[in-house]
Structure formats: C-alpha cells, structure tokens
Structure 1
Amino acid sequence: MTEHTRMITRFSRDTTADEIVRSVDLTGKRAVVTGGASGIGVETARSLARAGAEVTLAVRNTEAGRTVAADITATTGNPGVHVAALELTAPASVASFADSWSGPLHILVNNAGVMALPDLRRTSEGWEYQFATNHLGHFRLALALQPALAAAEGARIVAVSSSGHLASPLVFEDIHFTHRAYDPWLAYGQAKTANVLFAVEAHRRWSGQGITANALMPGGIRTGLQRHLDESPADPEQKAIFDAYPWRTAQQGAATSVLLAASPLVEGIGGRYFENCNEALPSDVVPADGEADGVAAHALDPEAAQRLWQVSEDLLAN
C-alpha cells in the first residue's frame, strides 16, 4: 500500500450527519443512496437532501421508500427526493435502475446490506447471499453507473463496510461456502472486506476520471440490520455487555458516510477506510477501547483488491 498522510478531521464519533453538512452546499448535485428507506440510509439521504442535493432512494420496498421520501422532504424542505426500485440480488433490477438513470451522478452511497444470516442462503446463481447482496450487487450497480459517475467530473462512491471485516479476509478459494462449513460472521466478514477492497480498486481504476471511492465503518447503531441478532441475550454477562455498548443514533451512524459523500475535507481522497469521521488506524495499533476498531491489512491489500475485481467481473459474466 502506498504511504500517505492519515486523514484527520475535526469531527468525531459523536458528530451527526447534519453537523457534517452544516456549511456544505450540494445544490445541483445528484445522489443515490441504496437502502435509503431504513437505518442510517434514511439519515444519510436526509442530510444530503438538507444540503440541497437531489436524492434518489434505491430500495427494495418502494412503498416504504415513498413514506421516507415524504418525511425527508417535510423535514428538509427539499422536494427533490425520489424513490426507485432496486433489488441488489436481481441482475434485471440493477440493470433497470441503471438504464433508467439519465445524466450525471455525483454521489453513490452503497449503503444497503444484510448481516449475519443465521443459515446459508444462496441466490439463483448459487452465490452466498451476504456476498451477493453486500458486494456483488453494489459492484454490478457501480459498473452500470460508471458512465454517469464519470460525467459528473468529480463523483464520489461511498462503500458502507463494517468492523465486521476484521473477522475474515476474502477466502478466494471458497467465497460461497461450497466446501467449508457456513458461518454467519465469517460470511459477513468477507462481504464487508469486499466492500473495502472494492473502494480500493475502484479508486485506482477510476480516479483518473474524477471518481473517488472510500469505505467506512458507521459504528454500532441499533437498526433493522441487526434483526438476526438476539437483542436480549439470556446470559447476564452478555446482556450487560450488550446494554453497555456505546450505541449511536442513526444520525451519528450516518455521519461518516456523509463526510465521505459531501465534505470538501476529503476532496480528491480515495481508496481509504474511515471510522468515527476520520481515517482509521491499522487494526493492530488501535486500543481495544470499544471506540475504534481500525482497519485490517487484508482489507486494503491492493493485490487482493485487483483479484476481487477480476473475480467479480467473471462471476457477473457467467
């Protein structure tokens, strides 16, 4: 990895997304937020709209999306909040979304995702569902929207990853758990590693066209993403840990996404991983204080990033 100066801002884990855009004007900018009808996606879209951007919520449930869009318009005064159907595991849906897009795209926030599915689930292609949703669907979408991103002459891609990436590198020999036993957290971990590797390689390939890409850890937020987890552990010790965890509000959880999507502080910066509104330190030097987890070397490995890109292209071509 090329050495660079770590990007530090004046913001922190307690910063809200609205605070990020307080002095930012996105008038004339167009943004897409996948999974924009729930969790931090709502607040990411809201803050971008508050700053004046035209925002499209790319969602599976368009009825829920319309409800959220109306609420965002009501709270921000921005009528330019739209809804479009997008199912990341359905190639036809991704193609339809991209084909319907016209004109430049300034901000693409790959926010949608699934976490820790308890049982092995596959798409019709035989792909492990978390990898297919969190990485391959967004990869297909970014490729299809790349001309629109290039037309913006300064576009940003934001890949929402997680500290879960620390659990597993990309296991190229068996990405889809064909030969190894399925583990929900290993599957989630490698999918989140893939999000970071995508940002690394997308920036390398597309920065010459004015497209920057970064990944991030939003922090712990109690949203629908955790629907497969036990939110009331029976074990008293586990419950105490769960209850004491420094959960963030959705506005705080969306802050790092909005920083990377909209702040002039990160203009031209790409191929990096952020948490707490700052570029993360390597995971092996971050204190285990629960406030910062850092980034694993395997997630920023440029060779793994290039290999994943090729593997992903091959999968989509079959």
Structure 2
Amino acid sequence: MTITTRFDAASTADDVVSGVDLTGRRAVVTGATSGLGVETARSLARTGAAITLAVRDTAAGAGVARDITATTGNPHVDVRPLDLADRSSVARFVRGWTGPLHLLINNAGIFRSELHRTPEGWEQQFAVNHLGPFALTVGLHRALAAGGQARVVMVSSTAHMNSPVVFDDLHFERRAYDPQLAYAQSKTATSLVAVEATRRWAADGIVANVVNPGGVATGLQRDFTPEQTDYLARAEAAGAFAYKTVPQGAATTLVAAVAPEFAGTGGHYLDDGREAHTVGDDANLFEHSHGVKRWALDPDTAARLWTVSADLIRTP
C-alpha cells in the first residue's frame, strides 16, 4: 500500500514545514545557490535546523545564506564548498564534516546537451547527478548514523522513465551520445541509491527516499536541446505534467525530509507529496508521468549499481 500524506501538487515547501521544529538538528543541502535548492534550504531554516549550503560558488552561497537568515531569522546557516564533479572536492567536504548529520538533501544536478567528461573519463551527467552524490552520501554515513533517525533525500525526475542504468555502457563510450538518455540514466541511478542505502543502513537509523519535484522552470533548463524543449512542450500539451512554482517544486523534497509518514521508512519514490505508484518498465511517460518505473526501484539492480559505483569512486 502506497504512503499518502495531506500534501499534493499545490502544496508548497513552507506548507510542509509549518509547525515542524528541528532545533538542534543539522542539514546539508547541495546545489543551494538557486532554484529548488534555495527554496529547500530556506524552508528547512524555518524549522530552526542548522543548515549547511554545499555549493560550487561559495560567494553566491554566502549571499543566499545571508538572505535566508534575513528572511527566516535563523542565524545557523553556513556555506561550504562542494563540486560534485570533483572527487577531491567531495572528499574534502567529507573530511571537514564533524559531528552528527540528521538530513542530507542531494538536490544538485545538471543537464548537458553535449558530451562532457570528467578527468576520469566519466560522462558528466552520470558523474554529477549520481557518482558525486553517491560518494558524498557514503562518505557521510558515519555522521548520519551518529545523527539518529537520519534521512537522506535524493532528487530524481520523471525523466528516469526514459532509461534504465545501462551497465554495459555507463559513460557512452560505445553508443552515440544522447543527452536525454544520459540524463534519464543518471536519474534512475539516483533513485536506486535510495533503495540500496535504506537496505544497508536502516539498522543504523538511516533511511533514504527519492523525490520527483515535477515540472519546475529552473536554471537546469538553460542547456536543454531544442529536442528536449520540444519534448517538454509536447508532454505539457498532452497533460503529462503541469508546471509548478519553485516553492511547489520543493515541497516533495520537504515531505521526504520532515513528514512523519516517512520517518523510519525508505526506498520510496515520492511525487506530489506522496509515494508514487509503480508502473511497468514499458510504460509510456506521457500516460504515467506520476509513476515510477520498476527499474528505478529494483533491489537487485540497486545492489549492483552500489557495487559498481563504489568501485568507480575508489579508482585512483
């Protein structure tokens, strides 16, 4: 039976945190210099939690931190550098973290219309959207375990419906590069991390869930191809989705982070403030845009991806 809440597509992030008190709790939000990341961090700050903005541009992050403090009255907002495409940056962030961590919001993500590779040769969308957050999450495991009843939130996308994880060619070394398939694969991988993290770490009091923010106009779209833009226009016209405001888009992240319905339970894919229904791997995205494909929740695939990813990030 799927988990429901009192929230829906029209709910905002502030609606979700209303009345929630997280004083004394610590949260990390990645990609918190624009869009959903800022809104997520701002709403979490309203709960009294201490917020760390993990960002590439620390100057922009400092401006966001000042604004969040000014608008919420919460002085406990700090900024730390983090570049998810750079393994050494992730390692420095992990080494620099001391004490417990109660909430890890893996919000940051990219879309690339052309093929880019990291110094390791990894396809950049897979590296930033999956391998970087994976390394960060694994690196912070002890801090999360020390937090007690910690939650990890992974931000995925309806785009996951367009591709499973292609283990035989993760980095588009043998097939022609398709930016939409690369993005989709990375978002399926994001979902699978939540499944396996919960299986491995639930005994440590850690659960991980994955969310689909829905259609939100953010900076992510600045690099969309004409084909991607046209695809979204057709999907909207077909009624597959309706655009949300940024506060509405951040709401489901906050549901996974603070709603009591998701305390102590993980491996779920949330959409519009509640757990989504599972659909077959052959389901049409236009007809099932509020569902999650089986390939994004399959426990065997999740375990395999965890092993493959752990081997990749350990490779010098």
In 2, the alpha carbon distance for the partners of 1:288 and 1:187 equals: 17
Q: Give the deviation of 1:229 after TM superposition.
A: 2.3
Q: Is the 8 A contact 1:107 1:157 kept in 2?
A: yes
**Taking structure 2 as the reference length, what is the TM-score of the superposition?**
0.93
Is 1:297 aligned with 2:307? no
The alignment partner of 1:269 has SS state of coil
Q: Is the 8 A contact 2:279 2:288 kept in 1?
A: no
Q: 1:62 aligns with which of 49, 58, 62?
A: 58
- Kindly provide the amino acid, as one letter, of the partner of residue 151 in structure 2: R
In 2, the alpha carbon distance for the partners of 1:297 and 1:243 equals: 23
The alignment partner of 2:292 has SS state of coil
Q: 1:19 aligns with which of 15, 25, 34?
A: 15
Q: Is the 8 A contact 1:286 1:294 kept in 2?
A: no
Distance of aligned partners of 1:26 and 1:118 in 2 relative to their CA distance in 1, 3 Å threshold:
same
In 2, the alpha carbon distance for the partners of 1:281 and 1:302 equals: 16
> For each residue in 1:188-244, what CA deviation from the matched residue of structure 2 results, as whole angstroms up to 9, or x when unmatched?
011000000000000000000000000010011100011112689998x95895799
Instruction: Show the counterpart of 1:158.
Output: 153
> For each residue in 1:33-58, what CA deviation from the matched residue of structure 2 results, as whole angstroms up to 9, or x when unmatched?
00011110001000100011100000
Instruction: Show the counterpart of 1:123.
Output: 118
Q: Which runs of structure 2 are paired with 1:1-318 in the superposition (5 Å)?
A: 5-115=1-111, 117-229=112-224, 238=233, 241=236, 246-284=242-280, 292-318=289-315
> For each residue in 1:270-300, what CA deviation from the matched residue of structure 2 results, as whole angstroms up to 9, or x when unmatched?
0110000010012359997789420000001
In 1, the alpha carbon distance for the partners of 2:13 and 2:26 equals: 18
Q: Is the 8 A contact 2:238 2:286 kept in 1?
A: no
Distance of aligned partners of 1:10 and 1:289 in 2 relative to their CA distance in 1, 3 Å threshold:
farther
In 2, the alpha carbon distance for the partners of 1:55 and 1:234 equals: 34
**Taking structure 1 as the reference length, what is the TM-score of the superposition?**
0.93
Q: Which runs of 5+ in 2 are unaligned?
A: none
Residues paired across the two proteins, number: 312
Distance of aligned partners of 1:288 and 1:121 in 2 relative to their CA distance in 1, 3 Å threshold:
closer
The alignment partner of 1:185 has SS state of helix
Q: Give the deviation of 1:266 after TM superposition.
A: 1.3
> For each residue in 1:90-123, what CA deviation from the matched residue of structure 2 results, as whole angstroms up to 9, or x when unmatched?
11111111111110000000000002x1111110
Distance of aligned partners of 1:176 and 1:199 in 2 relative to their CA distance in 1, 3 Å threshold:
same
- Kindly provide the amino acid, as one letter, of the partner of residue 105 in structure 2: V
In 2, the alpha carbon distance for the partners of 1:282 and 1:312 equals: 25
